[in-house]
Every structure is written in structure tokens, then in C-alpha cells.
Amino acid sequence: MIIPPFLKLIRENPDIVHLHEPNVFVTTMLGGFAKLFMRKKILLHCHSDAFKWKGLPWFLVPLMTAYGWLYWLKLKLADMVLVVSKEYMENSHYLRKFKYKAKVFPMSLAPAFRVLSKETVRKLKKREGIPDKKVVLYVGRIDPRKGINYLIDAVNLMPDVFLLIVGSGDKKSTAELKKQVKNLGMQKRVKFVPTVSQKELNKYYNIGDVLALPTNDLTETFGVVLLEAWAVKTPVVVTDIPAPKRM
């Protein structure tokens, strides 16, 4: 278990303590200590609600329910709350009650993403073993909330399309998706690439003809991959989830 750096907090004695959510243990301890014992201002930066998401194992439900109460307490103690999108603030069961002290602070884009030449992209596709077909790209974590299984089914209906999945996640979800690809006979039309650096990721964004974000859960509160795709002029398709849809 990670021990919160209480001594460092006391030594540096900041005027404002900036904490990021969701974080079950560290921010709870640091935030409570800074607010109650050091009388510091708390800035709570919220990226998503991490409670009872799709695919959550049953044995974690009581823990995440308890964390929901802690999250509410941290929001109550915070002097200001930052959220990554207006849609997240309006659709979150927790944040709606604290809109009076919340501000929208969108995520930013790293400078690594840029357009590559057509010749460079052609060579990259050859290196990756991707055929001369239209490429649907998915970038992100692999877990049940992301709806990748629906994307695989959709691509299966388009025989002249190749699916490129870039990202890592829990072993069970990854194994299930690979089994789905095998059962559909799509092994030559789908490629899985583990999480890569931003420099490498830029190459995959350029390879893609379109980025698909098939998220099926409201925990998708922003969708920074959309910004990254747009930076290289790759069009995007999203599901009817408030934050990505508005973007």
C-alpha cells in the first residue's frame, strides 16, 4: 500500500493542495490531513466517477460504494472543484450537488501529435502488416466500459475494413476480445497493439482512416483521444455519450 507523503506535505507547507480524482486512498488521506489539521485550501480535480462501472466485480461493489461516500465528503471539504467537462458535471450523481463551486477545466493536448506524409504512412502500414484497406482505429484502455466488442461486431459487417486496437487493460477483457475475433474469423482483419509511447501513438493515429470511440458508459467524461486524432486530421465517430458527443 502506498503511504501518503505527510512529512513532505508538512515540510513544503503549500497554500493550496491540488488533488486528482478518482483515487481511493492517497487523496483521501492527504486531503483530509491538509484540510482538517493544516487548514489548507483544497483544489479537487475530478476526471471521472469511479463507482459501480460496467464490468465491476461483485466483490468490489461494497468497496466502491464506501468510496462514493468518501468522494462526497472530499467534494464537501474542497474549496474549489475542477471537472474535465460540462457534461461530466451535469451527469455525475455526485458533482451535480456541488456545481456552485465547480469550474470546467478541459484536458489539454500533448505536442507529440502531428500529420505525417502519405509515403511515411504507407511504409508504417507495411511495417505493421496492415493491408491496403480502410483502417478503423481504437485507442484507449481495454475494459468492458469501452464497448470494443460492439466495434468488432460492426467491423465484421464491413469486409474491406481493417481494425487496429491500440491499448492495454485487464487480461480477462483482452482475452475475451481476442476470442471474439477468433470466433468471427477476423484474425487477419484485426490487430491488437499494447500501450505505446506518444511518439509511437502518433504513427497509429496517422495510419487510421477514422477513430472510433465506442464507449457505452457515462464514465467517459472527456475523450482526450478525440483531440489527439483531430491533431493529425483523422475524423472520429463516437457513441451517444454526453461528453464525447458534444465534442
Residues in the chain: 247
Helix (H, G, I), strand (E, B) or coil at 239: coil
Cα 117 to chain center, whole Å?
28
Confidence at residue 25, expressed as pLDDT on a 0 to 100 scale:
75
What's the farthest any 2 CA atoms get from each other in the chain? 63
Q: What is the pTM of this model?
A: 0.71
Residue 91 or 1, more confident: 91
Are 219 and 133 within 8 A, CB to CB? no
| Count of H-run helices and E-run strands, the chain | 10, 9
**pLDDT tens readout for residues 15-46:** 999 999 887 777 788 888 999 999 999 999 98
Report residue 85's pLDDT band, with 50, 70 and 90 as the boundaries: confident
Mean pLDDT of 150-162: 95
What is the rounded CA–CA span in Å between residue 202 and residue 148?
21
The four Cα atoms 229, 231, 235, 241 give a dihedral, to 10 degrees, of 60
What is the rounded CA–CA span in Å between residue 66 and residue 61?
9
Closest CA to 176 of 215, 143, 136: 143
What is the rounded CA–CA span in Å between residue 209 and residue 138?
11
Confidence at residue 53, expressed as pLDDT on a 0 to 100 scale:
59
% pLDDT > 70, the chain: 89
Confidence at residue 222, expressed as pLDDT on a 0 to 100 scale:
56
Mean pLDDT of 46-74: 75
Look up residue 80 and give its three cell numbers.
Answer: 474549489
Confidence at residue 1, expressed as pLDDT on a 0 to 100 scale:
43
Is the per-residue pLDDT at 80 higher than 90?
yes
Confidence at residue 121, expressed as pLDDT on a 0 to 100 scale:
93
Mean pLDDT of 42-59: 75
Mean pLDDT of 67-79: 87
Cα three-residue angle 174-176-179, rounded to 5 degrees? 110
Look up residue 243 and give its three cell numbers.
Answer: 461528453
Is the per-residue pLDDT at 110 higher than 60?
yes
Q: Would residue 223 be called left, alpha or beta, if left means φ above 0 and alpha means ψ between -120 and 50 degrees?
A: left
Confidence at residue 23, expressed as pLDDT on a 0 to 100 scale:
79
Are 10 and 18 within 8 A, CB to CB? no
DSSP string, 121-148: HHHHHHHHT--SSEEEEEES-BSGGG-H
**pLDDT tens readout for residues 192-201:** 999 999 889 9
Please give the backbone phi and psi of residue 41, each rounded to the nearest 5 degrees, phi first. Answer: -75, 140
Confidence at residue 52, expressed as pLDDT on a 0 to 100 scale:
58
Is the per-residue pLDDT at 67 higher than 80?
no
C-alpha distance from residue 31 to each of 37, 47, 99 (Å): 10, 16, 20
**pLDDT tens readout for residues 168-208:** 988 888 999 999 999 999 999 999 999 999 889 999 999 99
Mean pLDDT of 67-93: 87
Report residue 69's pLDDT band, with 50, 70 and 90 as the boundaries: confident
Is the per-residue pLDDT at 221 higher than 60?
no
Are 46 and 84 within 8 A, CB to CB? yes
Is the per-residue pLDDT at 64 higher than 90?
no
